[in-house]
Every structure is written in structure tokens, then in C-alpha cells.
Amino acid sequence: MKNALPRLSMLLAIAGILSLFLFPMWKIILYAPQYPTGVQMNIWINKIDGNEPGTLQNVNILNHYVGMKYIEPDAIPELTYFPYVIIAMACLGLVALIINRPWAYLSWMLLMIGLSMIGFYDFYLWEYDYGHNLSDTAPIKIPGASFQPPLLGKKIILNFTAVSLPHIGGYLAGAGIVFSFLAYWSRKKLS
């Protein structure tokens, strides 16, 4: 049983990142008096949608007053190639599981952490672009104001309170990284 722990952990790590195809990884919620239950946008590994069918359109309608670009998932290339990165990482995870050596698990974990950091940086760049790259003909112009949503946590943007948090997929993928560490650690203790 003890011998199986590293591989079992790695299997859970793979399941964790593959859950990104089942659940959104991130959510941004906008609260305002007129939106008492909030407008919740969900960011998946391969798409952007919301808690209701019209969410994205509603966010775009709100954004256009201040001249923000329309969020068009088709225009975000990451949503096309990120799924391949995850599938590749799942395959590499299987390879690590077959090799079943501490270094294999550790390499996978570090690679995954690295990719996540790049992902976050990329997310930040998109947010910066949406928040700062405003149309010259925007109906509402507020000098010096930025409409960039927070990377993580809460921020007040005009009449909105924007909250940015991991969604289920994000938590499970994070847990996957922890499991890959568990695989490394338990395998190391065996040798």
C-alpha cells in the first residue's frame, strides 16, 4: 500500500489538472447596486462564459461605456492552445508515473508551477490591456482611472466592486500540484 502512494498521488495530480476541462479555473464577479447577485464571469481553460447565458454580453455592455474592448473569446488565442498544454502536461504526468522516480515527480511539479506563473502573468497582461487600452471615443472618460480588474482579491472600480478568485477548476489544479509534491515526497521516503 505504501508503495502505491507516489503513483496514486500522481494520478490525483493528473486528475486535478484535467478537471480544468470540467470546471472553470477562475471567476471575476462584478457587484453593483443594480446587480445585487453580481455579474459572474467564468474563465475556463478553453472558453469564457458566465453564470447566465447573457453574462458576457452584459459585461461588454457595461464595459463599452468606458471604452473597454469587447471581450471576444474567439480573439484570445490562449483559449485555443492552453488546452493542448494541459493535455501535454497530463501525458508528461503519466510518463512521470511510469518512471516513478523522485526527480520525475519533482520536474513535473516545477514545470507545472512554472507554467502556472506564466499563465498568471498572461492573465495579468490581458487584464492590463482591457483596463488601460480604452477607446478615444468612450462616452465616459475619467482621467487617470484604470478599469483593470484585480488579479486576485477585491477592487473597487467606479460603481462596481470587482472580485477575482479561483473557481473549482483552479482549486483542483492547485491541489494537483500539491499531489505531485506528495508523489515526490512519498517516493523519496521509499528510496
Partner 1 sequence: MKTNRSIPFRVLPAISLIVLAGLITGCGNQQGQAGAGAISGDAASAVYVPPGQYDEFYAFMSGGFSGQVAVYGLPSGRLFKVIPVFSVDAEKGYGFNEETKPMLETSFGFVPWDDAHHPELSQTNGETDGRYLFINGNNTPRIARIDLSTFETAEIIEIPNSGGNHSSPFTTENTEYVVAGTRFGVPYPQKDVAINTYADNFKGALSFISVDKEDGDMNIAFQVLLPAFDYDLAHSGKGESHGWTFFTTYNTELKNTLLEVGASQHDKDYIAAVNWKLAEKYIAEGKFKEIPANYRDNSYEDKTHMATSKKMDKVRVLLPEDCPGLVYFLPTPKSPHGVDVDPTGEYIVASGKLSADLTVHSFKKMLTAIENQAFETTISGIPVLKYEEVVAGVVKEPGLGPLHTEFDGKGNAYTTFFISSEVVKWNVGTWEVLDRVPTFYSVGHLMIPGGDSKKPQGKYLVALNKITKDRYLPTGPELTQSAQLYDISGDKMKMLLDFPTVGEPHYAQGISADRIVPRSRKFFPLEENEHPFKALGEKDTRVERSGKDVHVYMTTIRSHFAPDNIEGIKVGDRVYWHVTNLEQDWDVPHGFAVQGAQNAELLIMPGQTETLVWYPQREGVFPFYCTDFCSALHQEMQGYVRVSAANSSTPLVWSLGEPEPEQ
Cβ of residue 160: shortest distance to partner 1, in angstroms?
13
- List, in sequence order, every residue forming a beta bridge with 43; answer none if it has no partner: 26, 48
Q: What are phi and psi of 44, to 5 degrees?
A: -100, 175
From 168, 167, 131, select the one nearest 149 (Cα to Cα). 131
Cβ of residue 168: shortest distance to partner 1, in angstroms?
25
138-151 core/surface letters (b: 16 or more CB in 10 A; e: else): eeeeeeeeebbbee
Cβ of residue 53: shortest distance to partner 1, in angstroms?
6
CA separation (Å) from 123 to 69, 119, 148? 15, 6, 11
Please identify, using beta-carbon distances, which residue of 139 and 144 lies nearer to partner 1. Answer: 139
Please identify, using beta-carbon distances, which residue of 57 and 80 lies nearer to partner 1. Answer: 57
Please identify, using beta-carbon distances, which residue of 19 and 42 lies nearer to partner 1. Answer: 42
- Interaction site with partner 1 (CB under 8 A): 52-54, 57-58, 61, 65, 139-140
Please identify, using beta-carbon distances, which residue of 54 and 114 lies nearer to partner 1. Answer: 54
Strand spans (E) along 44-128:
48-50
Cβ of residue 158: shortest distance to partner 1, in angstroms?
11
